[in-house]
Structure formats: C-alpha cells, structure tokens
Structure 1
C-alpha cells in the first residue's frame, strides 16, 4: 500500500485539470467567440487594419472578425481572429480535430502563416523527408505530425 501513495495527488490533480478545462471550454466556446491570437513583431501599420486582412487570412474574410492592436510592452502587434458564427459542436469534437475537420485548425494555421509572412517574408516549412530511411519512431512522428492538423502554439 505504501508504494501507491502518489496515486492520490495525481488523481486529484488530473480531476482538477479536467474540471478547469471543461469549465473554460464551456465559457470560452459557448457561442464560438474564442479569439485566436498571435503576436507579430512588427508595428501595427505593417500588419494592417481590422478592415484590410493579411494574405493568409483573406480567404476567411467574410467569416471572421479580426482585431489588430498594439501588443503590451511595445512588443509588436497582436493580431486576433474569431469566427462570426458559432463553430458547430460536431466539428469541434476530438474526432473531428484528429481527422482535420475542425475549422478552427484552418484559422490557427492562417494566423501562423500570417505571422511567418510578416516577420520572415515567407512561410517556412520543415525539410521532407526528415530521415533517409523510414524507422518505426519516424513513422509514429509522421503520423502525429500529419494528424496534428494545425494544432499547437502560435
């Protein structure tokens, strides 16, 4: 019994994390109004305005709201976007996200591409193939990379 002493705090922390995630998910995405934001290290004049969208976000022009404002501490510009209409719950589910059918993934990707274009002048992509011969670990990483579908930090 002494060997399992660590399970109680781990289970309690896990339950608290699930509770916080669920409550935050309900309050943020209740009406599909969660802002997705990137900080671009350029002045606001270079990024654009709320009416004039940068190239990767242009394909979402009629479906999203965009907010451009100065980042705190003179650290560039915050570019935020969100869908005008709520995202259907079915398309925001875990299976839809794993299948790459969540429209928020496309918006996240467009925000990251916009940041890359404005800061570096191009969207940098990883070299392919990363190894010369397929390995079991490489295949697993390739599967996760393909399935990530635009998730991740912006």
Structure 2
C-alpha cells in the first residue's frame, strides 16, 4: 500500500513540476494561449432581456455606456436561444502591462472595473429604468464596525462580486 501512495505522490509531483517549469507538449501550448488571451483586451458581456431595438434605440446606448466614450468598442447581438440581446464591451487600446493593471485595480482606476460597472448599470436601466443600489439608503449610520461591509459593497459595484 505504501508503494501505491508513494507512486501517486511521485506522479503528482511530476505533474506539478511540469506545469511550473512549462514542460514541452500540448499542455504548455495551451498555457501560452491562455496567457496571451489574458494580456489582450477582454470582452465583457451582459445579456439583457430586451430586443436589440430597445437596447440602443437610434444607435444611442444608455448613459453609463455612452459615458465611456470612444475608449471602448461596443457590440450588440442577439443572445443565444432567442433570450434577449447581448451587449459586449472591450477597451480599444488593447493589451496593458499586468503590473500597471494591478496597480490601477488597487487604486480603483482600472478601466475593466469601469466597464463592468457601466455594463451592470446599463442592464439595469434597460430592464427596469433605474439603477438599483444595494447600499442606499443605508439602514444604519456609518460606524467603524460596519465600515468593512460598506467598503465591500462599494468594491462589489466595480468588481461584480461580493
């Protein structure tokens, strides 16, 4: 039984070493493709439960998307299965250095965060005609105890997750 556990540990160790060292073969090619995609401009997509004519009437997008201006490329297409319309947005300027993107994310000035927030707000405007704020009106007054929750809610608007 010990030789079975030892053999499994050796195989797992070899797989980890190959992944870390970027060994030859199909796996490393896939890893390189994933890395190339990460550094390129990423499409952010939201599905809206409305026909395309109601998403951008007269070619005009809702204010959150229109506020991004010429810095982004926007595509509107039918959603799969006839379930509304997809709005796809990405930066026009292409790839950015990962270190710069990480610094911008920490300071709250990452363009991807602005795109996600604009997509979310545009979807809400198109579907309900108002932007819903999970943190407004506050049910309590600001205190040091509820500050972490307030900060997480504020960050969730840009990142899309809580």
TM-score normalised according to structure 2 size: 0.68
- The residue correspondences of 1:20-39 to structure 2 (distance < 5 A) are 26-32=35-41, 34-39=42-47
2:39–2:96 CA contact under 8 A, matched in 1 = no
Cα deviations by residue, 1:91-148 (Å, 9 ceiling, x for unpaired) = 421x421320101111111111110000000111132323357363x22212222344
Secondary structure at 2:149 match in 1: helix
Over aligned residues, Cα RMSD in angstroms? 3.3
Work out which of the residue numbers 135, 138, 143 in structure 2 matches 1:129. 138
2:52–2:77 CA contact under 8 A, matched in 1 = yes
TM-score normalised according to structure 1 size: 0.71
1:98–1:147 CA contact under 8 A, matched in 2 = no
Cα deviations by residue, 1:4-26 (Å, 9 ceiling, x for unpaired) = xxxx9xxx9xx89xxxxx86762
The alignment status of 1:65 with 2:85, answered yes or no, reads: no
Corresponding pairs, count: 137
Could you tell me which residue of structure 2 aligns to residue 115 of structure 1? 123
Cα deviations by residue, 1:74-99 (Å, 9 ceiling, x for unpaired) = 21100001111025324421x42132
Radius of gyration: which is bigger? 2
The alignment status of 1:42 with 2:50, answered yes or no, reads: yes
1:99–1:147 CA contact under 8 A, matched in 2 = no
Could you tell me which residue of structure 2 aligns to residue 151 of structure 1? 159
Instruction: In structure 1, list runs of 5 or more residues that go unmatched.
Output: 1-7, 17-21
Instruction: In structure 2, list runs of 5 or more residues that go unmatched.
Output: 1-8, 20-30
1:108–1:150 CA contact under 8 A, matched in 2 = yes
Cα deviations by residue, 1:37-95 (Å, 9 ceiling, x for unpaired) = 0000001111127x5433211122311111101111121100001111025324421x4
